[in-house]
Amino acid sequence: MIKIKPELYNKIKKNIISNRKLFKIITLMYNLLPLIIFIAYPLLIIYLLFTWNMGYIRVIVVPAGTFIAVTIIRIIVNRPRPYEKTGITPLFKKNTKGKSFPSRHVASAFAIAFAFLYINTFLGILFLALAFLISILRPIAGVHYVSDVISGFLISALFGILFFFIL
């Protein structure tokens, strides 16, 4: 398990909170990036349906399969969150207990980004960048370990590359 020591996390958090502009930017990105991705995804599906693009089947099935796989792994592993285990206070209030591994936000964001990449290279790269930012923000927020976000990415990459680009 890759984890940040509580002393280091608290130092990072203190630096973020003391810099008001940085804190506002991180807060905005933490809240807005997942929202952008999860609004854009149904719009992509609607676009594919209206353009009679049969890619909509993969665009629905692959992220859904990724989401289900990650959810099952989270239930089985039920890893405590960093704020439960280390006693840190997350940057943003969070009350969820357990189910830290793997990060479902990261896995879903990357699965959707791979769906965009399958349909359009430019949009795919854009959404991969947004997913990458989400994966950075989750440990900074204190709601996931680094290994949680890495595993979320790896699961999505496995599903995305295999089912969008190989099979």
pLDDT by residue for the chain (167 residues), tens only, comes to 566 788 889 899 999 999 999 999 999 999 999 999 999 999 999 999 999 999 999 999 999 999 999 999 999 999 999 999 888 999 998 889 999 999 999 999 999 999 999 999 999 999 999 999 999 999 999 999 999 999 999 999 999 999 999 98
The answer to whether residue 15 sits within a structural domain is yes
Q: State the Cα torsion 69-70-76-80 to the nearest 10°.
A: 180
The answer to whether residue 1 sits within a structural domain is no
Q: CA–CA separation, 157 vs 140, rounded Å?
A: 22
The domain total for the chain is 1
Domain extent for 29: 6-166
The answer to whether residue 27 sits within a structural domain is yes
Answering whether pTM is above 0.85, one says: yes
Sequence-ordered strand ranges (E) for 21-132? none
